[in-house]
Chain A
């Protein structure tokens, strides 16, 4: 029991970390960035390249890859979203162009690293274990859970207590009003993408380290889960994404343990459906859709 809770929290922290970035962009811009999973993947390969080719220790490679992911996010926004922003249908066209970027990034990764599974060298991270009541937890798992929580707290602090955070929230309410008030909307949106992609990249590197299995299509396994998590948590709600991430992780683990792995997605998504019927705005979503 204790071990399964650890397993669930661990899986949930990766979902939460991935979904945080996903929901941040949605909260600010009301668009789904479908390239988020591709950045998740690209950052992992970046960390892998730093570790294997340039012999970086992982505690340097991780922040470097996260920074890289953030920069890719800025480029992504500049290339795939900004040119479309003035259009009336920018939500849908942005969705499509981000899907195009995702496809391109996956193709590039396929070309560079090939379709086979790549791995961090054995011993990149200590696999030391810590005994807890009812099970064991590796230092890596603790690190990942801690990183997820710290990133969530840092993001909350950033959005509520800093100037850029206030600007982000202002743009989320109304880009036009924000612009009238002197906010540099383009810069705020670029920062949002930087933060979002950095979070996605962090999730990717930690995922790659946790399961030591890195491939160009690795983003697909979390893409749908991430979407489920942000819907479940309430679109655009960050505490909701974290709560829903952990909830989905725990649900999956207990379904696998008690019903079998084949039931995992069926039960998880049935639960998602049920919650949305009972609570359409999601667990922590604001009542009623906000008109940006």
Chain B
């Protein structure tokens, strides 16, 4: 267990304070340190996400402190490894709440860990900001102190579909989903709801089961209905087979996948068949918004190639800082939460950010396309 303390040590703060005291009238300078705990998966299966999340948090803390947005307040991030497990996540939360006395917590990397650890923060009335949990239920409904920056699939897909419709102007859609899995079934419901809301008729729906390997009968049946787009809700393993077999049938319809497709493993396993497949995403990397451009430049200056998780973690700190500002520049646990209640249209790399009444995040989503073996934003 490594403990990363990011603020300069006390002696240095003290020295800096002395130097400043000589310049400012006494009393005007009283810098309060507000600690923010971040439980990130630095080891274990989710370690690949934790590393970029950490970079985003460190950068955001530095940027906020330098911006002078919070006069008299200095943010300090306390980053600990949740080891991608529930047990370690709980231990880290206990330390944050009781030992470090943090004012807010950036939630654990995985939804699974969050479901176990977040109730502790709720009980201790410590506000939590989830930056990578996408499970539609079981996160923000834990309680009134649990907030979320990351978009759920239910939020990404309707936006992505609308963007795609503007681009491809399709008239009817077909749906294909795994009906033996809670995640893929939930994804299907979101897709169906989004199609209904957009007034796009559904030409046909087919299902498969997780152990299935042969999807050609379903795909042939759907192909015969000649839809303009195929929406697929599947886990990455099935997703690769489905896309490969659709193309094998000589069916070149545009395919849009759910969050299960949002993984490099999908591209690797589907090979050339993955080219041209659309997937929704929370962060538009190529957005020309000033906030996003500044974020990209800042991360580049730090030698980090940011991904969605990095941008979301960065936004998490911006959200907490805004909460403190909106509560009149006070940094207690209650202040941060009260600030969240007022937060609206905050400028972030993810676009203008607000909370819904259920404390979930709300901001524009984007569409990616697989091109040259990589996800690229659809302009």
Binding site for B on A (CB under 8 A): 3-4, 7-8, 10-11, 117, 119, 122-123, 127, 129, 131, 135-136, 138, 207, 210-213, 218, 220-221, 252-254, 256-258, 260-262
- From 212 to 240 in chain B, residues with beta carbon under 8 angstroms from any chain A beta carbon are 212-214, 216-218, 220-221, 223, 237
What's the nearest-Cβ distance from chain A to residue B316, in Å? 32
- Establish whether residues B237 and A117, one from each chain, have CB atoms under 8 Å apart when the complex forms: yes
What's the nearest-Cβ distance from chain B to residue A218, in Å? 8
- Establish whether residues B220 and A7, one from each chain, have CB atoms under 8 Å apart when the complex forms: yes
Q: Pick from B212, B213, B249, B271: contact of A261, CB below 8 A.
A: B212
What's the nearest-Cβ distance from chain B to residue A45, in Å? 16
Query: A residues within 8 A CB of B208?
Result: 261
Beyond A4-B221, A211-B214, A260-B206, is A129–B248 a contact (Cβ under 8 Å)? yes
Query: A residues within 8 A CB of B212?
Result: 261
Q: Pick from B218, B237, B272: contact of A122, CB below 8 A.
A: B272
Query: B residues within 8 A CB of A212?
Result: 241, 244
- Kindly supply a per-residue 1/0 record for chain B positions 274-299, scoring 1 wherever the CB is within 8 Å of any chain A CB and 0 otherwise: 00000000000000000000000000
Binding site for A on B (CB under 8 A): 179, 206-209, 211-214, 216-218, 220-221, 223, 237, 241, 244, 248-250, 269, 271-272
What's the nearest-Cβ distance from chain B to residue A263, in Å? 10
- Across the A-B interface, how many residue pairs have beta carbons closer than 8 Å? 70
Query: A residues within 8 A CB of B179?
Result: 261-262
- Establish whether residues B271 and A122, one from each chain, have CB atoms under 8 Å apart when the complex forms: yes
25 CB-based A-B contacts, threshold 8 Å: A3-B220, A3-B223, A4-B217, A4-B221, A7-B220, A8-B217, A11-B214, A119-B269, A129-B250, A135-B249, A136-B248, A136-B249, A136-B250, A211-B214, A221-B211, A252-B217, A253-B216, A256-B217, A257-B217, A258-B221, A260-B206, A261-B206, A261-B217, A261-B218, A262-B179
Query: B residues within 8 A CB of A218?
Result: 213
Given pairs A212-B244, A256-B217, A257-B220, 7 additional interface contacts (CB within 8 A): A3-B220, A4-B217, A127-B248, A135-B249, A136-B250, A211-B213, A220-B211
Minimal Cβ-Cβ distance residue in B for A213: B213
Minimal Cβ-Cβ distance residue in B for A264: B217
Query: B residues within 8 A CB of A135?
Result: 220, 249-250
- State in angstroms the CA–CA spacing of A8 and B220 once bound together: 11
Q: Which of A117, A119, A254, A261 has the most CB of B within 10 A?
A: A261
- State in angstroms the CA–CA spacing of A213 and B234 once bound together: 15
What's the nearest-Cβ distance from chain A to residue B324, in Å? 45
Query: B residues within 8 A CB of A131?
Result: 250
- State in angstroms the CA–CA spacing of A81 and B333 once bound together: 71
Q: Which of A122, A136, A254 has the most CB of B within 10 A?
A: A122
Query: B residues within 8 A CB of A127?
Result: 248
What's the nearest-Cβ distance from chain A to residue B287, in Å? 33
What's the nearest-Cβ distance from chain B to residue A85, in Å? 35
What's the nearest-Cβ distance from chain B to residue A89, in Å? 34
Query: B residues within 8 A CB of A258?
Result: 221
What's the nearest-Cβ distance from chain A to residue B230, in Å? 16
Minimal Cβ-Cβ distance residue in B for A119: B269
- State in angstroms the CA–CA spacing of A71 and B250 once bound together: 39
What's the nearest-Cβ distance from chain B to residue A95, in Å? 24
- State in angstroms the CA–CA spacing of A256 and B241 once bound together: 17
Query: A residues within 8 A CB of B248?
Result: 127, 129, 136, 138
Closest 4 CB pairs of A and B: A122-B271, A211-B213, A256-B217, A257-B221
- Establish whether residues A256 and B221, one from each chain, have CB atoms under 8 Å apart when the complex forms: yes
What's the nearest-Cβ distance from chain B to residue A123, in Å? 8
Query: A residues within 8 A CB of B209?
Result: 261
- State in angstroms the CA–CA spacing of A18 and B244 once bound together: 24
Q: Which of B206, B211, B217, B218 has the most CB of A within 10 A?
A: B217
Minimal Cβ-Cβ distance residue in A for B248: A138
Q: Which of B214, B223, B249 has the most CB of A within 10 A?
A: B214
Beyond A256-B217, A261-B208, is A211–B249 a contact (Cβ under 8 Å)? no
Q: Which of B207, B209, B213, B244 has the most CB of A within 10 A?
A: B213
What's the nearest-Cβ distance from chain A to residue B252, in Å? 11
- Establish whether residues B218 and A256, one from each chain, have CB atoms under 8 Å apart when the complex forms: yes
What's the nearest-Cβ distance from chain A to residue B181, in Å? 13
Query: A residues within 8 A CB of B220?
Result: 3-4, 7, 135, 257
- State in angstroms the CA–CA spacing of A127 and B220 once bound together: 18
Query: A residues within 8 A CB of B223?
Result: 3
- State in angstroms the CA–CA spacing of A136 and B245 once bound together: 12
Query: B residues within 8 A CB of A221?
Result: 211, 213
- State in angstroms the CA–CA spacing of A254 and B218 once bound together: 9
- Establish whether residues B249 and A3, one from each chain, have CB atoms under 8 Å apart when the complex forms: yes
Q: Which of A11, A117, A252 has the most CB of B within 10 A?
A: A117
Q: Which of A123, A212, A252, A258 has the most CB of B within 10 A?
A: A212
- State in angstroms the CA–CA spacing of A213 and B216 once bound together: 15
What's the nearest-Cβ distance from chain B to residue A33, in Å? 23
- State in angstroms the CA–CA spacing of A174 and B207 once bound together: 49
- State in angstroms the CA–CA spacing of A252 and B220 once bound together: 13
- State in angstroms the CA–CA spacing of A253 and B221 once bound together: 10
Query: A residues within 8 A CB of B213?
Result: 207, 211, 213, 218, 221
- State in angstroms the CA–CA spacing of A8 and B216 once bound together: 9
- Establish whether residues A257 and B218, one from each chain, have CB atoms under 8 Å apart when the complex forms: yes
